[in-house]
Structure 1
Amino acid sequence: MTPAINTAMGTREWIMLILLSLRWGGSFFFVGVAVTEMPALTIVALRVGLAAIALWCIAWAMGLRPPKQLQAWIAFLGMGLLNNVVPFTLIVWGQTQIASGLASILNATTPLFAVVVAGALLHDERATVLKIIGVALGFIGVVVMIGLPAMGQSDSTLAQLAIVGAALSYAFAGVYGRRFRTMGINPVVVAAGQVTASTLVMVPVALTVDGPLDIAGPGTEVWAAVVGLAVLSTAIAYVLYFKILELAGATNALLVTLLVPVSAILLGALFLGESLDSVHFVGMALIALGFSAIDGRLWQRRISAKV
């Protein structure tokens, strides 16, 4: 019998979540650079293809081998569609028309969808009042931190809906991905299998729609962004993602989208000389308050103390 997940995350899970946010926080930057010289579907195909190569190298170095069961590869394909093909394509296309700040706000709706989807489909991740309050506080914190003006930067409603569609797809992927825990597949193999299945889908689609890529066309900065997107924001990130999913469940794993804007802003302040304003700290405080509500332990102790 598979042991129950730990919906109240411990120190290890929180550290992994923060590390994952740093990896995914860079993805919006990498995509923003890559879309200047590469078509959207080609970027997605390169992202998953290069990530698959990196992940299988890691798997082989760890002594792990691809599963032989057809059931596992069917599951990889389903996960790849929900977690890579659909959301990556929607996000990359959306970022050709809207700014990365707005895209990250819209992407932060993922935990809102996750609470609803996981609560409806998973018996051990039912939505609670504290979870709903926590996710709402976290989302408000993201909006406060990035700024309400970002919501009006673009008149492209369709592009904004594309990012929201990606967030919904991520929510369903989080629920779907819980099956790998019961199948006993190592998170590194799950990550490698997922992006491999996505590559098999995206390469022919990209070649058909975008045509063959002129390798010499994009500049060095664009290729560096694509490699960073594939290795840092996809290969390594998905090892962390599937481990969190295995240990703490879908809702907790997808909380990372609330941390992504925090990571992006802090990285900008540390390495790009960008300033931190008081509104950033207010937003981060709201996100931290939201996380404490989702975790629930501190709030339950305060409620118990008053009773």
Structure 2
Amino acid sequence: MDDETVGIALVLTSAIGFGTLGIFGVLAADEGLSIPTVLALRFSLAAVAVWAVLWYRGRFRLLRGRLLAVAFALGAVGYATQSGLYFLGLEFMTAGMVAIVLYTYPAFVVCLVALTNPDRVTKIVLFALGLSIGGVALITGVDPAGADPRGIVVVLGAALAYSLYIVVSQRALTSVDAETLTAFVLPAAAISFVVFGIGTNTLALPGSVTGWGVVLAIALVATVVPVLTFFAGLSRVGASRASIISTAEPGVTVALGALVLHEPVTGVTVLGGTLVITGVVLIHLEGA
């Protein structure tokens, strides 16, 4: 296969990996694992794996000073908030619905960028924003099978947190490569959940083989593999195309939710999700 085809395959692999997160999150809850436990283990194990890969490749680099502080804040505050709200959303809605609503985050990114660069907000971008918002509104108003208003608010909060994470990390990436930044974001997020878990007395190791299997799957299949394959694919197809290919992620979650968890998938869910993803694609194309 040529380099471009390999890049597309890698980014699709990443989207599939990230698309499994909601499914494993539901399975973790079924095993009685608390959110702090799941996410503390997820980020700890993922950090060890990513650091090992970077060391093996000879690309490991220690961050210091301001850059280290930014990476710590991105993980302990930004990524931790997004992940915590995402998993909390799974308690109110289906995994597929959570994935669709989370994918409004590019719209939030555009809104944040518009605050400092209003000239970048074109008619196409505004149309795309309307599609994304309309898709969520359609699902919320018409589809009671998977859309709990509380869950919508929680996951929109996750999307906002993720958009802030992206905007801040883009500035940090002018001084450090994305893989190295991720290697420091992951343990910072882990520390956040360890502290929260201890403070709320909700931290406990899995008590079964199944529980450990789900946690390992979240750390490796839904975190390490998609992170590394995305970066590998990104270098081959470019940021804009990689972002567009990644929009397969919520579709993967919806499909797996129906197949594995027997979650309902209605016509409204499909239509609303299509509107959201179309809006995201338009935003990425306009920014290309």
Distance 1:12 1:122 in 2: 35
Q: Residue 127 of structure 1 aligns to which amino acid in structure 2? A: V
- Contact kept, 8 Å, 1:146 with 1:280, in 2: the verdict is no
TM-score for the superposition, normalised by structure 1: 0.73
Matched with 1:40 is: 35
Matched with 1:181 is: 173
Number of equivalenced pairs: 282
Distance 1:66 1:33 in 2: 35
Verify: 1:264 aligned to 2:258, yes or no.
Answer: no
Q: What does 1:247-258 correspond to in 2, within 5 Å? A: 258=247
- Contact kept, 8 Å, 1:141 with 1:286, in 2: the verdict is yes
Distance 2:134 2:246 in 1: 13
TM-score for the superposition, normalised by structure 2: 0.77
| Residues 52-73 of structure 1: CA deviation (Å, up to 9, x unaligned) | 0111111111112232422221
Q: Secondary structure at the match of 2:20?
A: helix
Verify: 1:74 aligned to 2:63, yes or no.
Answer: no
Matched with 1:197 is: 188
Matched with 1:300 is: none
| Residues 19-66 of structure 1: CA deviation (Å, up to 9, x unaligned) | 432122111001111112111111111111111011111111111223
| Residues 174-216 of structure 1: CA deviation (Å, up to 9, x unaligned) | 1111123210x2322111111012122222221231355144x
Verify: 1:233 aligned to 2:254, yes or no.
Answer: no
User: 1:260 Cα deviation (Å)?
Assistant: 2.4
Return 5+ residue gaps in structure 2 as ranges. Answer: none
**Per the alignment, do residues 273 and 97 of structure 1 end up closer, same or farther by CA in structure 2, a change over 3 Å counting?**
closer
Return 5+ residue gaps in structure 1 as ranges. Answer: 1-9, 298-307
Distance 2:214 2:17 in 1: 13
Matched with 2:208 is: 219
Q: Secondary structure at the match of 2:121?
A: coil
Of 186-195 and 158-167, more deviation after overlay is shown by 158-167
Distance 1:199 1:276 in 2: 33
Matched with 2:131 is: 137
Verify: 1:166 aligned to 2:158, yes or no.
Answer: yes
**Per the alignment, do residues 241 and 82 of structure 1 end up closer, same or farther by CA in structure 2, a change over 3 Å counting?**
farther
Matched with 2:16 is: 22
**Per the alignment, do residues 244 and 90 of structure 1 end up closer, same or farther by CA in structure 2, a change over 3 Å counting?**
farther
* Higher RCO, 1 vs 2 (CA within 8 Å, ≥6 residues apart): 2
- Contact kept, 8 Å, 2:114 with 2:121, in 1: the verdict is yes
Q: Secondary structure at the match of 2:120?
A: coil
Verify: 1:119 aligned to 2:119, yes or no.
Answer: no
Percent identical pairs in the alignment equals 22
Distance 1:140 1:15 in 2: 31
Q: Secondary structure at the match of 1:65?
A: coil
Q: CA RMSD in A?
A: 4.1
